[in-house]
Protein backbone atom coordinates (compact mmCIF):
# COMPACT_ATOMS: atom_id res chain seq x y z
CA UNK A 1 0.00 0.00 0.00
CA UNK A 2 1.37 3.46 -0.94
CA UNK A 3 1.86 6.29 1.56
CA UNK A 4 -0.95 8.27 -0.08
CA UNK A 5 -3.36 5.33 0.26
CA UNK A 6 -2.36 4.84 3.90
CA UNK A 7 -2.98 8.50 4.59
CA UNK A 8 -6.40 8.33 2.98
CA UNK A 9 -7.38 5.23 4.97
CA UNK A 10 -6.14 6.73 8.24
CA UNK A 11 -7.93 9.98 7.52
CA UNK A 12 -11.17 8.09 7.01
CA UNK A 13 -10.62 6.15 10.25
CA UNK A 14 -9.92 9.26 12.24
CA UNK A 15 -12.85 11.07 10.69
CA UNK A 16 -15.18 8.32 11.79
CA UNK A 17 -13.64 8.50 15.28
CA UNK A 18 -14.51 12.21 15.45
CA UNK A 19 -10.99 13.44 16.26
CA UNK A 20 -11.30 17.08 17.29
CA UNK A 21 -8.57 18.96 15.42
CA UNK A 22 -9.02 22.74 15.67
CA UNK A 23 -9.71 24.51 12.41
CA UNK A 24 -6.87 26.88 13.22
CA UNK A 25 -4.47 23.93 13.18
CA UNK A 26 -5.85 22.71 9.85
CA UNK A 27 -5.45 26.18 8.36
CA UNK A 28 -1.86 26.43 9.57
CA UNK A 29 -1.07 22.96 8.25
CA UNK A 30 -2.53 23.83 4.85
CA UNK A 31 -0.47 27.01 4.82
CA UNK A 32 2.71 24.94 5.38
CA UNK A 33 1.80 22.45 2.66
CA UNK A 34 0.67 19.53 4.83
CA UNK A 35 -1.36 16.97 2.87
CA UNK A 36 -4.89 16.15 3.97
CA UNK A 37 -4.75 13.40 6.55
CA UNK A 38 -1.24 14.20 7.73
CA UNK A 39 -2.52 15.71 10.99
CA UNK A 40 -4.53 12.57 11.66
CA UNK A 41 -1.51 10.40 10.87
CA UNK A 42 0.57 12.28 13.42
CA UNK A 43 -2.07 11.73 16.10
CA UNK A 44 -2.43 8.06 15.21
CA UNK A 45 1.31 7.58 15.75
CA UNK A 46 0.99 8.75 19.33
CA UNK A 47 1.93 12.40 18.95
CA UNK A 48 -0.16 14.74 21.08
CA UNK A 49 -2.04 17.68 19.66
CA UNK A 50 0.35 19.91 21.61
CA UNK A 51 3.34 18.35 19.81
CA UNK A 52 1.60 18.83 16.47
CA UNK A 53 1.03 22.49 17.34
CA UNK A 54 4.70 22.89 18.23
CA UNK A 55 5.66 21.54 14.80
CA UNK A 56 3.24 23.88 13.06
CA UNK A 57 4.43 26.92 15.00
CA UNK A 58 8.04 25.97 14.23
CA UNK A 59 7.23 26.14 10.53
CA UNK A 60 7.75 22.42 9.74
CA UNK A 61 6.83 22.01 6.08
CA UNK A 62 4.49 19.37 4.78
CA UNK A 63 7.33 17.49 3.09
CA UNK A 64 9.39 17.46 6.29
CA UNK A 65 6.41 16.26 8.32
CA UNK A 66 5.64 13.54 5.78
CA UNK A 67 9.21 12.27 5.80
CA UNK A 68 9.31 12.24 9.60
CA UNK A 69 6.00 10.43 10.02
CA UNK A 70 6.80 7.85 7.32
CA UNK A 71 10.08 6.96 9.04
CA UNK A 72 12.25 8.84 6.59
CA UNK A 73 14.55 11.76 7.23
CA UNK A 74 14.56 13.05 10.81
CA UNK A 75 14.49 16.83 11.25
CA UNK A 76 17.62 17.78 13.10
CA UNK A 77 18.07 20.98 15.12
CA UNK A 78 20.64 23.52 13.97
CA UNK A 79 21.65 24.43 17.57
CA UNK A 80 21.97 28.13 16.78
CA UNK A 81 21.05 28.91 20.38
CA UNK A 82 24.31 27.28 21.51
CA UNK A 83 26.40 29.69 19.45
CA UNK A 84 25.21 33.08 20.69
CA UNK A 85 28.04 35.39 21.88
CA UNK A 86 26.84 35.90 25.45
CA UNK A 87 29.33 35.92 28.31
CA UNK A 88 29.94 32.31 29.34
CA UNK A 89 31.63 30.68 32.32
CA UNK A 90 29.87 32.77 34.98
CA UNK A 91 29.63 31.29 38.45
CA UNK A 92 27.53 33.41 40.78
CA UNK A 93 28.27 32.59 44.42
CA UNK A 94 26.55 33.69 47.65
CA UNK A 95 28.47 36.53 49.29
CA UNK A 96 26.71 35.73 52.57
CA UNK A 97 26.06 32.01 53.08
CA UNK A 98 23.29 32.74 55.56
CA UNK A 99 21.44 34.85 52.99
CA UNK A 100 21.92 32.31 50.21
CA UNK A 101 22.29 33.31 46.57
CA UNK A 102 20.91 36.85 46.70
CA UNK A 103 19.91 39.13 43.85
CA UNK A 104 23.01 41.24 44.42
CA UNK A 105 25.21 38.19 43.87
CA UNK A 106 23.97 38.06 40.26
CA UNK A 107 25.42 41.51 39.56
CA UNK A 108 28.54 39.89 38.12
CA UNK A 109 30.59 40.86 35.08
CA UNK A 110 28.52 42.28 32.21
CA UNK A 111 25.33 40.80 33.68
CA UNK A 112 25.43 43.46 36.36
CA UNK A 113 25.68 46.36 33.90
CA UNK A 114 22.51 48.46 33.84
CA UNK A 115 22.88 50.90 30.93
CA UNK A 116 21.82 54.53 31.18
CA UNK A 117 19.49 53.95 28.24
CA UNK A 118 17.95 50.52 27.74
CA UNK A 119 17.99 49.88 23.97
CA UNK A 120 15.38 47.12 23.63
CA UNK A 121 11.60 47.35 23.31
CA UNK A 122 11.04 43.62 23.82
CA UNK A 123 11.11 41.51 26.97
CA UNK A 124 14.70 40.46 26.42
CA UNK A 125 16.44 39.45 29.62
CA UNK A 126 19.44 41.67 30.38
CA UNK A 127 22.56 39.88 29.23
CA UNK A 128 20.87 37.59 26.71
CA UNK A 129 21.40 37.83 22.95
CA UNK A 130 18.60 39.55 21.01
CA UNK A 131 16.60 37.93 18.26
CA UNK A 132 16.82 39.90 15.01
CA UNK A 133 13.02 40.22 14.72
CA UNK A 134 10.88 40.75 17.81
CA UNK A 135 7.64 42.51 18.68
CA UNK A 136 7.48 45.84 20.47
CA UNK A 137 6.08 45.12 23.96
CA UNK A 138 4.87 48.65 24.58
CA UNK A 139 7.42 49.86 27.13
CA UNK A 140 7.75 53.65 27.42
CA UNK A 141 10.45 54.13 30.10
CA UNK A 142 13.99 53.40 28.91
CA UNK A 143 16.01 56.00 30.84
CA UNK A 144 17.73 54.66 33.95
CA UNK A 145 17.86 58.03 35.72
CA UNK A 146 14.06 58.22 35.75
CA UNK A 147 13.42 55.09 37.81
CA UNK A 148 16.64 53.68 39.21
CA UNK A 149 18.21 53.51 42.66
CA UNK A 150 21.00 51.08 43.52
CA UNK A 151 19.32 50.29 46.82
CA UNK A 152 16.53 48.34 45.10
CA UNK A 153 18.79 45.27 44.95
CA UNK A 154 19.24 44.84 48.75
CA UNK A 155 15.76 46.24 49.45
CA UNK A 156 14.25 43.45 47.38
CA UNK A 157 16.08 40.85 49.46
CA UNK A 158 14.94 42.52 52.68
CA UNK A 159 11.36 42.62 51.48
CA UNK A 160 11.07 38.95 50.56
CA UNK A 161 12.59 37.93 53.90
CA UNK A 162 10.86 40.51 56.07
CA UNK A 163 7.41 39.06 55.55
CA UNK A 164 4.37 39.22 57.80
CA UNK A 165 0.91 37.79 57.37
CA UNK A 166 -2.12 39.76 58.64
CA UNK A 167 -4.05 36.56 59.29
CA UNK A 168 -1.49 34.93 61.61
CA UNK A 169 0.99 37.56 62.81
CA UNK A 170 -1.67 39.73 64.45
CA UNK A 171 -3.47 38.40 67.53
CA UNK A 172 -7.06 38.93 66.48
CA UNK A 173 -8.43 37.02 69.46
CA UNK A 174 -6.80 39.53 71.81
CA UNK A 175 -9.14 42.39 70.82
CA UNK A 176 -11.38 43.66 73.57
CA UNK A 177 -14.43 45.87 73.35
CA UNK A 178 -13.76 49.62 73.15
CA UNK A 179 -16.01 52.60 73.92
CA UNK A 180 -18.30 53.27 70.98
CA UNK A 181 -16.76 56.64 70.04
CA UNK A 182 -13.25 55.14 70.14
CA UNK A 183 -14.24 52.11 68.07
CA UNK A 184 -15.92 54.32 65.49
CA UNK A 185 -12.82 56.51 65.28
CA UNK A 186 -10.55 53.48 64.87
CA UNK A 187 -12.78 52.04 62.16
CA UNK A 188 -12.88 55.34 60.27
CA UNK A 189 -9.09 55.55 60.34
CA UNK A 190 -8.84 51.93 59.17
CA UNK A 191 -11.28 52.63 56.35
CA UNK A 192 -9.14 55.49 55.10
CA UNK A 193 -5.86 53.56 55.46
CA UNK A 194 -7.26 50.55 53.63
CA UNK A 195 -8.52 52.74 50.79
CA UNK A 196 -5.19 54.52 50.43
CA UNK A 197 -3.13 51.32 50.51
CA UNK A 198 -5.31 49.67 47.88
CA UNK A 199 -5.19 52.73 45.63
CA UNK A 200 -1.43 53.14 45.87
CA UNK A 201 -0.77 49.47 45.16
CA UNK A 202 -3.03 49.57 42.11
CA UNK A 203 -1.44 52.79 40.88
CA UNK A 204 2.14 51.52 41.14
CA UNK A 205 1.05 48.31 39.47
CA UNK A 206 -0.32 50.26 36.51
CA UNK A 207 3.14 51.77 35.91
CA UNK A 208 5.06 48.48 35.96
CA UNK A 209 4.26 47.69 32.28
CA UNK A 210 5.75 51.05 31.31
CA UNK A 211 9.20 50.28 32.76
CA UNK A 212 11.40 48.34 30.35
CA UNK A 213 12.70 44.92 31.26
CA UNK A 214 16.30 46.07 31.49
CA UNK A 215 15.56 47.46 34.95
CA UNK A 216 14.56 44.04 36.26
CA UNK A 217 15.72 44.54 39.85
CA UNK A 218 13.63 47.69 40.17
CA UNK A 219 10.56 45.93 38.80
CA UNK A 220 11.08 43.10 41.29
CA UNK A 221 11.34 45.55 44.18
CA UNK A 222 8.21 47.44 43.11
CA UNK A 223 6.41 44.10 43.02
CA UNK A 224 7.20 43.66 46.73
CA UNK A 225 5.87 47.18 47.39
CA UNK A 226 2.60 46.24 45.70
CA UNK A 227 2.44 43.08 47.78
CA UNK A 228 3.14 45.03 50.98
CA UNK A 229 0.34 47.47 50.18
CA UNK A 230 -2.01 44.57 49.50
CA UNK A 231 -1.24 43.18 52.97
CA UNK A 232 -1.98 46.57 54.49
CA UNK A 233 -5.27 46.80 52.61
CA UNK A 234 -6.20 43.41 54.04
CA UNK A 235 -5.05 44.14 57.59
CA UNK A 236 -6.77 47.54 57.92
CA UNK A 237 -10.01 46.13 56.58
CA UNK A 238 -9.83 43.20 58.97
CA UNK A 239 -9.32 45.52 61.94
CA UNK A 240 -12.40 47.54 60.97
CA UNK A 241 -14.52 44.40 60.81
CA UNK A 242 -13.18 42.42 63.76
CA UNK A 243 -14.18 44.22 66.95
CA UNK A 244 -17.85 45.06 66.74
CA UNK A 245 -17.42 48.00 64.39
CA UNK A 246 -17.46 48.23 60.62
CA UNK A 247 -16.29 50.32 57.71
CA UNK A 248 -16.75 54.07 57.92
CA UNK A 249 -17.20 56.87 55.41
CA UNK A 250 -15.06 56.96 52.30
CA UNK A 251 -12.11 59.28 52.85
CA UNK A 252 -11.43 62.30 50.58
CA UNK A 253 -9.94 61.37 47.22
CA UNK A 254 -8.37 64.69 46.20
CA UNK A 255 -4.83 63.50 46.82
CA UNK A 256 -5.46 60.19 45.09
CA UNK A 257 -6.70 62.01 42.01
CA UNK A 258 -3.51 64.09 41.88
CA UNK A 259 -1.43 60.90 41.93
CA UNK A 260 -3.67 59.20 39.37
CA UNK A 261 -3.33 62.14 36.99
CA UNK A 262 0.48 61.96 36.94
CA UNK A 263 1.71 62.09 33.36
CA UNK A 264 5.22 60.81 34.00
CA UNK A 265 7.06 58.55 36.44
CA UNK A 266 9.01 61.46 38.03
CA UNK A 267 5.73 63.29 38.66
CA UNK A 268 4.15 60.18 40.16
CA UNK A 269 7.09 59.52 42.45
CA UNK A 270 7.29 63.16 43.58
CA UNK A 271 3.61 63.16 44.51
CA UNK A 272 3.94 59.83 46.29
CA UNK A 273 7.12 61.02 48.02
CA UNK A 274 5.06 63.45 50.11
CA UNK A 275 2.48 60.78 50.91
CA UNK A 276 5.01 58.03 51.68
CA UNK A 277 7.04 60.25 54.00
CA UNK A 278 4.05 61.44 56.02
CA UNK A 279 2.65 57.90 56.19
CA UNK A 280 5.97 56.58 57.45
CA UNK A 281 5.88 59.17 60.24
CA UNK A 282 2.34 58.11 61.07
CA UNK A 283 3.19 54.42 61.29
CA UNK A 284 6.41 55.00 63.25
CA UNK A 285 4.32 56.86 65.81
CA UNK A 286 1.37 54.51 65.61
CA UNK A 287 1.46 53.95 69.35
CA UNK A 288 -0.04 57.43 69.75
CA UNK A 289 -3.19 56.29 67.96
CA UNK A 290 -3.26 52.58 68.84
CA UNK A 291 -5.83 51.36 71.35
CA UNK A 292 -4.38 47.90 71.93
CA UNK A 293 -1.35 45.72 71.25
CA UNK A 294 -2.74 44.41 67.98
CA UNK A 295 -2.91 47.93 66.54
CA UNK A 296 0.58 48.73 67.83
CA UNK A 297 1.91 45.61 66.14
CA UNK A 298 0.04 46.43 62.94
CA UNK A 299 1.47 49.94 62.76
CA UNK A 300 4.97 48.61 63.47
CA UNK A 301 4.72 46.13 60.59
CA UNK A 302 3.54 48.90 58.26
CA UNK A 303 6.36 51.21 59.39
CA UNK A 304 8.90 48.55 58.46
CA UNK A 305 7.42 48.16 54.98
CA UNK A 306 7.11 51.90 54.41
CA UNK A 307 10.70 52.45 55.49
CA UNK A 308 11.88 50.35 52.55
CA UNK A 309 9.65 52.31 50.20
CA UNK A 310 10.96 55.60 51.59
CA UNK A 311 14.54 54.43 51.22
CA UNK A 312 13.85 53.88 47.53
CA UNK A 313 12.10 57.23 47.21
CA UNK A 314 15.06 59.10 48.68
CA UNK A 315 17.71 57.29 46.64
CA UNK A 316 15.72 57.50 43.40
CA UNK A 317 15.25 61.26 43.76
CA UNK A 318 18.92 61.73 44.62
CA UNK A 319 19.96 59.73 41.55
CA UNK A 320 17.57 61.65 39.31
CA UNK A 321 18.91 65.02 40.50
CA UNK A 322 22.50 63.86 40.07
CA UNK A 323 22.01 62.53 36.54
CA UNK A 324 19.49 65.11 35.34
CA UNK A 325 20.15 68.32 37.30
CA UNK A 326 18.18 70.34 34.76
CA UNK A 327 15.00 68.73 36.11
CA UNK A 328 15.50 69.94 39.67
CA UNK A 329 13.14 72.91 39.49
CA UNK A 330 10.49 70.76 37.84
CA UNK A 331 10.26 68.73 41.04
CA UNK A 332 9.08 71.82 42.95
CA UNK A 333 5.95 71.91 40.80
CA UNK A 334 5.11 68.32 41.67
CA UNK A 335 5.84 68.72 45.38
CA UNK A 336 3.71 71.86 45.55
CA UNK A 337 0.78 70.05 43.97
CA UNK A 338 1.15 67.10 46.36
CA UNK A 339 1.45 69.30 49.46
CA UNK A 340 -1.64 71.29 48.47
CA UNK A 341 -3.78 68.20 47.87
CA UNK A 342 -2.60 66.34 50.97
CA UNK A 343 -3.16 69.34 53.24
CA UNK A 344 -6.66 69.66 51.82
CA UNK A 345 -7.34 66.03 52.75
CA UNK A 346 -5.88 66.56 56.22
CA UNK A 347 -8.30 69.45 56.83
CA UNK A 348 -11.32 67.32 55.99
CA UNK A 349 -13.41 66.41 59.05
CA UNK A 350 -13.49 62.76 57.96
CA UNK A 351 -9.71 62.64 58.31
CA UNK A 352 -8.91 64.94 61.23
CA UNK A 353 -11.76 64.25 63.68
CA UNK A 354 -11.20 60.48 64.15
CA UNK A 355 -7.50 61.08 64.75
CA UNK A 356 -8.27 63.87 67.23
CA UNK A 357 -10.64 61.57 69.14
CA UNK A 358 -7.94 58.90 69.37
CA UNK A 359 -5.26 61.38 70.43
CA UNK A 360 -7.56 63.01 72.97
CA UNK A 361 -8.82 59.76 74.41
CA UNK A 362 -12.48 60.19 73.51
CA UNK A 363 -15.08 62.40 71.90
CA UNK A 364 -15.32 64.63 74.96
CA UNK A 365 -11.61 65.47 74.65
CA UNK A 366 -11.65 66.21 70.92
CA UNK A 367 -10.39 69.79 71.37
CA UNK A 368 -7.29 68.58 73.22
CA UNK A 369 -6.90 65.93 70.53
CA UNK A 370 -7.02 68.61 67.81
CA UNK A 371 -4.13 70.44 69.47
CA UNK A 372 -2.12 67.21 69.60
CA UNK A 373 -2.98 66.47 65.98
CA UNK A 374 -1.65 69.85 64.89
CA UNK A 375 1.65 69.10 66.62
CA UNK A 376 1.70 65.72 64.95
CA UNK A 377 1.19 67.31 61.53
CA UNK A 378 4.20 69.52 62.24
CA UNK A 379 6.24 66.39 62.93
CA UNK A 380 5.09 64.81 59.67
CA UNK A 381 5.99 67.89 57.63
CA UNK A 382 9.37 68.34 59.31
CA UNK A 383 10.30 64.70 58.71
CA UNK A 384 9.14 65.05 55.11
CA UNK A 385 11.48 68.03 54.67
CA UNK A 386 14.30 66.03 56.25
CA UNK A 387 13.72 63.20 53.79
CA UNK A 388 13.95 65.71 50.96
CA UNK A 389 17.28 66.92 52.34
CA UNK A 390 18.56 63.34 52.37
CA UNK A 391 17.76 63.32 48.67
CA UNK A 392 19.77 66.57 48.22
CA UNK A 393 16.61 68.60 47.67
CA UNK A 394 15.20 71.58 49.54
CA UNK A 395 11.77 73.06 48.92
CA UNK A 396 12.19 76.59 47.59
CA UNK A 397 8.71 77.61 48.70
CA UNK A 398 6.64 75.24 50.84
CA UNK A 399 2.98 75.20 49.88
CA UNK A 400 0.86 77.62 51.89
CA UNK A 401 -1.47 74.91 53.19
CA UNK A 402 1.53 72.99 54.56
CA UNK A 403 3.04 76.19 55.91
CA UNK A 404 -0.13 76.82 57.91
CA UNK A 405 0.52 73.64 59.91
CA UNK A 406 3.99 74.92 60.83
CA UNK A 407 2.87 78.45 61.78
Q: Is the pLDDT of residue 228 over 90?
A: yes
Q: Delimit the domains of the chain by residue range.
A: 3-69, 144-406
Q: Which residues contact 297 (CB under 8 A, 6 or more apart)?
A: 169, 170, 171
The answer to whether 159 and 306 are in contact (CB under 8 A) is no
Angle between helices 152-161 and 216-240 (to 10 degrees): 40
Predicted pLDDT at 16: 38
3-state secondary structure of 136: coil
CATH T-level assignment (fold) for domain 144-406: Ribonucleotide Reductase, subunit A (1.10.620)
Which of 51-65, 210-224, 285-299, 333-347 bottoms out in mean pLDDT, i.e. has the lowest? 51-65
Residue 119: which pLDDT band, with cuts at 50, 70 and 90? Answer: very high
Predicted pLDDT at 72: 57
Region 311-333 average pLDDT: 97
3-state secondary structure of 92: coil
3-state secondary structure of 10: helix
The answer to whether 356 and 350 are in contact (CB under 8 A) is no
Residue 336: which pLDDT band, with cuts at 50, 70 and 90? Answer: very high
What's the pLDDT tens digit per position in 380-393? 999 999 999 999 99
HSE at residue 22, side-chain half, CA atoms within 13 A, is 8
Predicted pLDDT at 335: 97
3-state secondary structure of 78: coil
Region 368-379 average pLDDT: 97
Residues pairing with 117 in the sheet: 143
Write the DSSP symbol of residue 151. T
Q: Which residues contact 260 (CB under 8 A, 6 or more apart)?
A: 203
Predicted pLDDT at 253: 87
What's the pLDDT tens digit per position in 21-79? 888 888 888 888 988 888 888 888 778 888 888 888 888 888 888 888 877 555 567 78
Amino acid sequence: MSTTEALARLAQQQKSANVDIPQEARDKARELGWEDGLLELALSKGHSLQEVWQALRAGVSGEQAKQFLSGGQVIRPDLRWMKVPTEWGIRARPSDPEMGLALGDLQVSTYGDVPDIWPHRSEIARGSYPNPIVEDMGYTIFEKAIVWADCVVPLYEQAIRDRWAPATDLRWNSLEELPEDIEKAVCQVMTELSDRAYFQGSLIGSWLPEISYGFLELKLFLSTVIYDLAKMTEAFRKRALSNGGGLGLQAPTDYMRAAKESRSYPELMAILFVHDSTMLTFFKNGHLFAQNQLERDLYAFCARDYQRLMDYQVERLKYLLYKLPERRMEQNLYFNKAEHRLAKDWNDAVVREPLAILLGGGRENIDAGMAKLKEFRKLQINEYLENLKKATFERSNLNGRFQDFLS
